[in-house]
Structure 1
Amino acid sequence: MSACPAFSHVLVFPHLRVQNANAISSPLTHGFPSMTAFLGLMWALQRKANAAGLDIQFSAVGVVCHQHQEQATEGGFIGSFHLTRNPVGKDGGSAAIVEEGRIHLQLSLLLAADSPRWALEPAARDADLATLAELLAGMRIAGGSVMPPAQPWRRRYQPWALDLTGTGKDRQALFAKARMRLLPGFSLVGRDDLLAQRQQQREASGDANPLDAWLSLARINWRWATDEPDGKGAWSHDRAGNGWIVPIPVGYGALGELHSAGSVANTRDAHTPFRFVESLYSVGQWISPHRLHCVESLLWYAERPTNAGVYRCRNDHATTLDDAELDVTFDLDTSY
């Protein structure tokens, strides 16, 4: 399995208020933006930082969610997103606009960073951090707008950096103190191990379908208490004892060959090779930062693309199983 790239500092942008972020993380999941959106934010911020003259490289990103408010109806069996009323077309019908589910967030963003300049000029770190905060304020996070902090909290919620240039024990000790500054909140970590365990359980019963194993960890089922037709029933799930488990997208799988730049019409970027992909799925867990023992547990990073065309993001929270046992993500191939 890939490991989190080495880094010397973690930059923390605390309690960012994000308005109208995309709540639909994939064709099958919703409720919080995909971690691929935050990886995209990290790369976009690095490009802006390098253009501004900052000698800095980002390698991983982490998110701690403090508050969320999904723009959807509450109560009842079926929920609906609060959508905008767009202008009608020339024929009087609705315009062909793809609506997005929206969510308001308050989150802390963590970026694993490296900068040779900081080792030579320690004072430059604070200046660079202020520049990064200014750049971030003008960007979008998962499609949402970054709002300035409320006036009473502006001084308190200033960005800060964690220097992790010491030994392994020193890094753990520093993180043990710093993680308390991320409370109250929950961080999303990868739990590929739980999906592997559930698939092994289903293999024992003669059903080795990865999609069914994923759904068994994601859905809520109606179960009758007895076999009697008029017996009582209740809604229940199969995640007992595993914590706050959620289905998540973890990247993309190729549907075909890589096309050369400009060869496919109407692409977003005519200077970058293009490929048709579909979502890959796994399971994650929301966990309080004070339960994590190292900063790598809450960081997500991009795995190098494979020859099979897999573009996947990784998290090192679950590292007890080997690569073959853990890598059980899947796409919606018709063989399922």
Structure 2
Amino acid sequence: MIGAVKKLLVIPHIKVHNANALSSPFTIGFPAMTAWLGAVHALQRQLNKQHIGVAFNAVGVISHDIDLQTYKGESDYVHSIVGTGNPLDKTGARSAFIEEARCHLDVSLVIEFDNITVDERARLIEQVTQLLHGKMKMASGDIKSFKTPICMNVTHDDEGELKKLQRLLMPGYALIERRDLMIAAMSEGQDALQALIDFTSVHYSCETDDTDKVKWFRHSKQVNGASAGWIVPIATGFYGISELAAAKNQRDPDTPHRFAESLVTLGEFKMPHRIHYVEDMLWRYHSQGDYYLCQQSKFATPEPCDSGNEFE
């Protein structure tokens, strides 16, 4: 879906406090793509209520900084979640509360929009600024600050406009889908979870020279003889595991309910100056059968992914 001209709303350097870092049942780190597309969809709904007929079609997420709220002591084997100080119950004891992993973020959003004329862009930016300064959240976190949103056009064959956007997003890392790595590994008969672990694990080896000096080496998964890049597991959607039906006490009585599992695949953090087309960083909603996905346009149909637990 590479068009001639892309109309983009760029919201630079959004500082998010206490975002949800539990992106899937078995991964912790950068929030799930469903959180970012969901936040932008919520922003569109608020704008539509104010009679601004904008349509947000796709979202690119660029990470500038992440501060994961975990702690590892000197002799600890694993990291521990830094919990919040929740109020005591009436007996003075700690209330039953499941702690969730949190992180502080500095991200920029690149949003492809439509249905807005050039004359309406100033009002769009004004209303987006007001809404983000209000009660809106991003990935369950509070928005502390952000730089002034910018509207711009990027033409497919205009390198000047693309470079202007890249400079605006640097230094940072755009999150790119790398489901192709999972597909290739699974086509060779490898288990999905094992393939994900192989691409994200780091191994160390050492050698000792004649003077008994130890030298350590770091190894990661290679693709075609070269490093695969900064590969991370990412949650990109859900897979339905039950039929559509009504459920007792469901939150939305007008929408059919079904149980689903999280879909987890691989992603790559890539610096914007290495991206040749804007479309390469944009994520879109896609549904087909039992799949409900956030994916990039280079993947036209769902492929096997690993799955997690239930949700409503």
The amino acid across from 1:196 in the alignment is: I
Matches within 5 A, 1:123-138: 123-138=119-134
RMSD: 2.8
Q: Which residue of 1 aligns with 2:230?
A: 244
Q: Which residue of 1 aligns with 2:306?
A: 330
Tell me how far 1:69 sits from its aligned partner. 0.9
Is it true that 1:257 corresponds to 2:243 in the alignment?
yes
Higher strand share: 2
Distance 2:291 2:68 in 1: 30
Q: Which residue of 1 aligns with 2:192?
A: 210
The range that moved more, 64-73 or 264-273, is 264-273
Deviating beyond 3 angstroms after TM superposition, the runs of 4 or more aligned structure 1 residues are 3-8, 74-77, 88-94, 220-226, 232-237
Distance 1:79 1:7 in 2: 46
SS, match of residue 123 in structure 1: helix
Indicate how the Cα distance of structure 1 residues 234 and 181 shifts in structure 2: closer, same or farther if over 3 A, else same.
closer
Unaligned segments of structure 2, at least 5 residues: 209-214
Q: Which residue of 1 aligns with 2:175?
A: 188
Calculate the TM-score normalised by the size of structure 1: 0.80
Tell me how far 1:323 sits from its aligned partner. 5.5
Indicate how the Cα distance of structure 1 residues 212 and 331 shifts in structure 2: closer, same or farther if over 3 A, else same.
same
Tell me how far 1:87 sits from its aligned partner. 2.9
The amino acid across from 2:157 in the alignment is: K
> How many percent of aligned residue pairs carry the same amino acid?
35
Is it true that 1:169 corresponds to 2:157 in the alignment?
yes
Indicate how the Cα distance of structure 1 residues 60 and 6 shifts in structure 2: closer, same or farther if over 3 A, else same.
farther
SS, match of residue 13 in structure 1: strand
Higher helix share: 1
Question: Does structure 1 retain, via aligned residues, the 8 Å contact 2:5–2:153?
Answer: no
Question: Does structure 2 retain, via aligned residues, the 8 Å contact 1:13–1:133?
Answer: no
Q: Which residue of 2 aligns with 1:56?
A: 54
Q: Which residue of 2 aligns with 1:178?
A: 165
Indicate how the Cα distance of structure 1 residues 269 and 94 shifts in structure 2: closer, same or farther if over 3 A, else same.
farther
Tell me how far 1:137 sits from its aligned partner. 2.6
Is it true that 1:72 corresponds to 2:70 in the alignment?
yes
Calculate the TM-score normalised by the size of structure 2: 0.85
Tell me how far 1:7 sits from its aligned partner. 7.6
Distance 1:273 1:5 in 2: 35
Question: Does structure 2 retain, via aligned residues, the 8 Å contact 1:59–1:113?
Answer: yes
Tell me how far 1:176 sits from its aligned partner. 2.6
Indicate how the Cα distance of structure 1 residues 123 and 6 shifts in structure 2: closer, same or farther if over 3 A, else same.
same
Is it true that 1:219 corresponds to 2:201 in the alignment?
yes
Q: Which residue of 2 aligns with 1:147?
A: 144
Tell me how far 1:224 sits from its aligned partner. 8.5
SS, match of residue 181 in structure 1: helix
Distance 2:27 2:184 in 1: 21
Indicate how the Cα distance of structure 1 residues 323 and 141 shifts in structure 2: closer, same or farther if over 3 A, else same.
closer
